[in-house]
Amino acid sequence: MGTYLNLKKLPVVLALAALLVVILACAEDDSRSSERDAGTEPTQPSASDSQVNQDPTPTIITPTAVNQVSISTQVPPTATTTPPIPEPTSTPKPAAKLDRPSIDLPGGLYVGPQMVEITTNEPNSQIWYTLDGSDPSETNGIAYNGPIELFTQDVTTVTAVVTSVGALASDSTSSQFRFVENEIESKEPIVLSGNDVLEISDTYYKHRGAVTLSGDSKLIITNSVFEHVKDFAFEHELKVTDNAEVIVTNSGISTTCNGSFN
């Protein structure tokens, strides 16, 4: 039996086919609308899925070369601060002691006023002195500013030191002086008897003879130096008998033996 197409029914078939296409299109639009309302995008078949369905051969995917970034995992060393090494401390040197000053006038007995000069070889220093024998210092003494005139009936002891900033004060230098107004030299013997009185005052008295006192006589020596000068030890004796007296006030009696026949 041969097949044949009924041309009368062709329009109906075409109409049904067109209606089917419209229905499918509407159904697809409804599905997309539902997905949009649910917040999801319509799912598109992936190329790999198509290939899997179409070609059973596994697909080898070659990774795309990318710029490699070298990341160092080495932890940098922690910066440490080395404490400064203290310099060795040197032991401070002890302060030097200054040289003692010099007094130009030798100690001794002098007739009349005398000028005394005190000197030092220490630069930038100050001399301090006393006249009573005490130790001078910056708090006890007189600042030396030039030569000193000395003349007193008492024995005078000049003591001096040197001071300077950053140094130890010097050792002291001392000289002792006695001053009198007059100087007398006598060669005649002194003979006192009965109530005789001989007074020697403020004098350097050099006697080259014998001294004999008897009775109630008195030899009074005040603020003076009585020097008994002999050529030999056995001559020019000082002899006091009876109630006679030798009264010495702030004075000195000395004996000098020359050891010659002059």
Q: What is the predicted pLDDT for the residue at 68?
A: 53
Is residue 61 over pLDDT 90? no
Query: How many Å apart are CA 194 and CA 216, to the nearest integer?
Result: 5
Average pLDDT over residues 246-254: 89
Hey, what domains does the chain have and what are their CATH numbers?
A: 102-180 (2.60.40.10), 182-257 (no CATH)
Least confident of 13-27, 61-75, 83-97, 186-200: 61-75
Q: Check pLDDT > 90 for residue 21.
A: no
Report residue 114's pLDDT band, with 50, 70 and 90 as the boundaries.
Answer: very high
Say which range, 71-85, 110-124, 218-232, has the weakest mean pLDDT. 71-85
- Taking alpha carbons only, the member of 252, 246, 254 closest to residue 153 is 252
For 177-231, how does the pLDDT look when each residue is reduced to its tens digit (9 = 90+)? 988 889 999 988 999 999 999 999 999 999 988 899 999 999 999 988 899 888 7
More confident residue, 61 or 82: 82
Mean pLDDT of 101-118: 93
Contact criterion met (CB below 8 Å) for 148 and 115: yes
Could you tell me which residues come within 8 angstroms of residue 151 by beta carbon, excluding any fewer than 6 positions away? 112, 113, 114, 179
Number of H helices, E strands in the chain: 2, 19
pLDDT for the residue 183? 92
Binning pLDDT at 50, 70 and 90, where does residue 39 land? low
With contact defined as beta carbons under 8 Å apart, do 205 and 226 qualify? yes
Predicted pLDDT at 50: 47
pLDDT at 141: 93
Query: Rounded mean pLDDT of 226-237?
Result: 78
Calculate mean pLDDT across residues 113-117.
94
Which pLDDT value is given to residue 262?
A: 46
How sure is the predictor about 1, in pLDDT bands with cuts at 50, 70 and 90? very low
Average pLDDT, whole number, for the chain? 80
For the residues of 104-160, what is the DSSP string, one character each? SSPSEEEES-EEE-EE---TT-EEEEESBSPPP-SSSSEE--S-EEE--SS-EEEEE
Asked whether residue 56 carries a pLDDT value surpassing 80, the answer given is no
pLDDT of residue 11: 67
- H or E element, residue 15: helix 10-37
Query: Does residue 245 surpass a pLDDT of 90?
Result: yes
Calculate the CA 32 to chain-centre distance.
97
| CA angle centred on 52, ends 51 and 54, rounded to 5° | 60
